[in-house]
Structure 1
Amino acid sequence: MSADRAALQQALKRGEQDGGHIEFKERLTRELHLADGRMESLAAQLRHRVLSGDGEATYVVGVTDNGGIAGIAPEEFSETMDVLSLLAEEAGAHIENVDTWSAGDDGLVGMATIREGSMLTADNGHIVIGTAGHVDHGKSTLVGSLVTGEPDDGDGFTRSFLDVQPHEVERGLSADLSYAVYGFDETGDPVRMDNPHRKTDRARVVQEADRLVSFVDTVGHEPWLRTTIRGLVGQKLDYGLLAVAADDGPTKTTREHLGILLATDLPTIVAVTKVDAVSPERVVEVEKEIETLLRDVQKTPLRVERYGVETAAGELNETVVPIIRTSAVRGDGMDDLDRLFETLPKRSTDEHSEFQMYIDRTYNVTGVGAVASGTINAGTVSEGDELLLGPMSDGSFREVEVRSIEMHYHRVDTAKAGRIVGIALKGVDESEVKRGMALLPREADPDPVRSFEAEVMVLNHPTRITEGYEPVIHLETLSETAVFSPEGGKLLPGDTGTTTVEFKFRPYFVEEGQRFVFREGSSKGVGTVVSVDD
């Protein structure tokens, strides 16, 4: 990732010193620098640099011994980082961060920060929470205040910590999924970020916290419902957080988002936001509306103000829904949310099953290559693991290798089910990696699935679903047009029935038991994969 070139110039100016923490390397190769004897010598040198820097060393790559800019090809830079990572591991250290700059036509020069100690292994208490709610109901603002501890100014200041695109900041509307993290130390005190836009700050939270809380902040604007569904269905969430503004109350979008949360059996908390903007009587009125809405779908509301945080944490499940009053401006309910998130248990995960992750986003990182991000569905993944990626459009799976793993910008050597990670992959170009693809163990024998049988429930449809109906299927992170062929020829609103579902354009990795949401215009429904066709 490109950074301020002044940091590079400063390192070059200071230069290598016998008792210093800076080391220049033009290039490292596996064949030469990992050979017997050579690796031990270089690891000892790295250890010396780390100790000289009080636990931190700086390696400048792509420069000559006297600090001249040489520049190396991207593939050479990538190999150098792999070798440097192995040397750091041998020396009891790890690469914390890498910045790169262009040098010449196609060359790169980079600077790696190496810290003492092994890479973090993700903790067992990490929970992931997905937000939902109508646009302008304050869910992003609430999360921004939670992860920073900063009060909002009443105009959505803390929301800006999550909006990352210029048009999002300008319009005050989120247009894609955003991610945030905070945590708690071993005494239960919050560990917050000073600036969520600064990746080193996120990494610090991951490193310092004994328990982590990650947020997947979805989109409230109706045109981006597809993105919201992707966030709630495809992210292996532990809990849902539905924001309902006290000045507006439940809306059509509120009901729609609640339906998605409940259809996926996700234990959900309702936050009544903006209580500072209305009278106490209005807050009570909105709470009653929410309670009626929940009872209409056979859920039991539980007011945290009346029963307390401990009761809410103990009773929260697929049926009981706590309701909590909040204000990001005055701070109402923020301490209660902290206590709730610090107390809630991690829901059961498949940490001991085979590794599986559906890809949500892809990146091309200079000097690293293809990076796939998503939430690990099952199992564990480690640096150096050999995996399968796919299916490709022709149904094949590509052999890839895990180059490195990051969790909220903190390098980890292993990550478990339920963690949101970015995985750098060897053996594939970023342009070939698509959302909805799966990463699986190399020894797996997956079949590409073009069609499957499903049991579906039609939640809403203006007439009836017949042969050839083409909704968009949201399953894990994939969103794809599919063709329905209902058993018996039709499905009416409110019906539960069986249908064949065939992806229209390409195959995906699908398994029995997976839940999905389908949508087409105002028509919506949920389903479960019953069997897959060979």
Structure 2
Amino acid sequence: WWNGPCLVEALDELKAPEQPVDKPLRIPIQDVYNIKGVGCVPVGRVETGVLRPGDKVVIMPPGKEAEVKSIESHHEPLQEAKPGDNIGFNLRGVSKAEIRRGDVVGKPDNPPTVVKEFIAKIVVIKHPTAITAGYTQVFHIHSAQLACQITELIEKLDPKTGAVLEKNPKFLKNGDAATVKIVPTQPLCAEEYSKFPQLGRFAIRDMGQTVAAGMVIKVTPKE
């Protein structure tokens, strides 16, 4: 009744996805420690690119430049950190007080984007009433958690096809999909989903529940 491979054979045939090592470096910071005798040690997951000891890096939004002294993963020293690696890395030239969770590490020649505003597609999952322009709530995007405001409802979309149903809708309710304009209340690093999926998706949380989820389709960099 079944002519295909058995489960174990099917699993063996699965190919691992290619790691985005050719993309610019992006490491959202999960936490920052100050270790006695070592110095400033941020921890985070490498999302794209490659990090090596001796590399010059820049941390955005604060714009602090530093040098990587060493890299560790699970107490083992690394000579190269690739996408998917959870690492701690010792930085020279920056202190714990100058960087924080939600900042993003990149290379000076292609720094992470600090956004002034961005256009996103969202789907309303569970909201007690309706979302209107001016709605401000906590956005969870990569390791950052900060308040952002939906300043404009641009289009209401068909959740299945993506077709435009209505221009400039007055409100959004549960199950609605839409294109909206969003402005962060504090400096925020975000990237377009088409270029960096890991830094271009977000959830909107309110009262301990996920109200909506979305992805960034266009960013306006902060000058």
TM-score, structure 1 as length reference: 0.35
Sequence identity (%): 30
In the other structure, the counterpart of 1:500 is 181
In the other structure, the counterpart of 2:189 is 509
379, 392, 398: which one aligns with 2:49: 379
Measured against aligned partners, the alpha-carbon deviations of 1:150-195 in whole angstroms (never above 9, x if no partner) come to xxxxxxxxxxxxxxxxxxxxxxxxxxxxxxxxxxxxxxxxxxxxxx
6, 18, 23: which one aligns with 1:353: 23
Amino acid at match of 1:503: P
Distance 1:403 1:511 in 2: 27
Note the 1:118-517 alignment, pairs <5 A: 309-310=7-8, 313=11, 345-392=15-62, 397-485=63-151, 486-487=153-154, 488=168, 489-504=170-185, 506-513=186-193, 514-517=200-203
Amino acid at match of 2:218: S
Distance 1:479 1:365 in 2: 25
Distance 1:431 1:465 in 2: 36
Give 3-state SS (helix, strand or coil) of 2:188's partner.
coil
TM-score, structure 2 as length reference: 0.81
What runs of 5+ residues in structure 1 fail to find an aligned partner? 1-306, 315-342
Give how far 1:367 is off: 1.3
Amino acid at match of 1:507: P
Distance 2:14 2:9 in 1: 11
Measured against aligned partners, the alpha-carbon deviations of 1:24-75 in whole angstroms (never above 9, x if no partner) come to xxxxxxxxxxxxxxxxxxxxxxxxxxxxxxxxxxxxxxxxxxxxxxxxxxxx
Give how far 1:517 is off: 1.2
Going from structure 1 to structure 2, the CA distance change for 1:446 and 1:380 (only over 3 Å counts) comes to closer
Distance 1:308 1:431 in 2: 55
Give how far 1:501 is off: 1.4
Amino acid at match of 2:192: E
Amino acid at match of 2:8: E
Q: Does 1:529 align with 2:219?
A: no
Measured against aligned partners, the alpha-carbon deviations of 1:510-530 in whole angstroms (never above 9, x if no partner) come to 111111111112452110101
In the other structure, the counterpart of 2:160 is none
Amino acid at match of 1:515: R
Give how far 1:450 is off: 3.2
Give 3-state SS (helix, strand or coil) of 1:465's partner.
coil
Distance 2:114 2:77 in 1: 32
- Report the number of matched residues: 195
Higher percent of residues as helix: 1
Computing the radius of gyration from Cα coordinates, the structure with the larger value is 1
What runs of 5+ residues in structure 2 fail to find an aligned partner? 155-167, 194-199
C-alpha contact 2:56 2:107 (8 A) present in aligned 1: yes
Give how far 1:532 is off: 0.9
Going from structure 1 to structure 2, the CA distance change for 1:523 and 1:419 (only over 3 Å counts) comes to closer
Amino acid at match of 2:182: V
Measured against aligned partners, the alpha-carbon deviations of 1:115-146 in whole angstroms (never above 9, x if no partner) come to xxxxxxxxxxxxxxxxxxxxxxxxxxxxxxxx
Give how far 1:461 is off: 1.1
Higher percent of residues as strand: 2
Distance 1:519 1:391 in 2: 23
Amino acid at match of 1:349: Q
Give how far 1:344 is off: 6.4
C-alpha contact 1:462 1:523 (8 A) present in aligned 2: no
Give 3-state SS (helix, strand or coil) of 1:431's partner.
helix
Larger relative contact order, structure 1 or 2 (CA cutoff 8 Å, min sep 6): 2
Going from structure 1 to structure 2, the CA distance change for 1:308 and 1:360 (only over 3 Å counts) comes to farther
Give 3-state SS (helix, strand or coil) of 1:313's partner.
helix
C-alpha contact 2:57 2:65 (8 A) present in aligned 1: yes
Distance 2:31 2:15 in 1: 28
Going from structure 1 to structure 2, the CA distance change for 1:425 and 1:516 (only over 3 Å counts) comes to same
Distance 2:83 2:111 in 1: 20
Amino acid at match of 1:415: A
C-alpha contact 2:40 2:96 (8 A) present in aligned 1: yes
Distance 1:414 1:510 in 2: 25
Distance 1:482 1:410 in 2: 38
Give how far 1:426 is off: 0.8
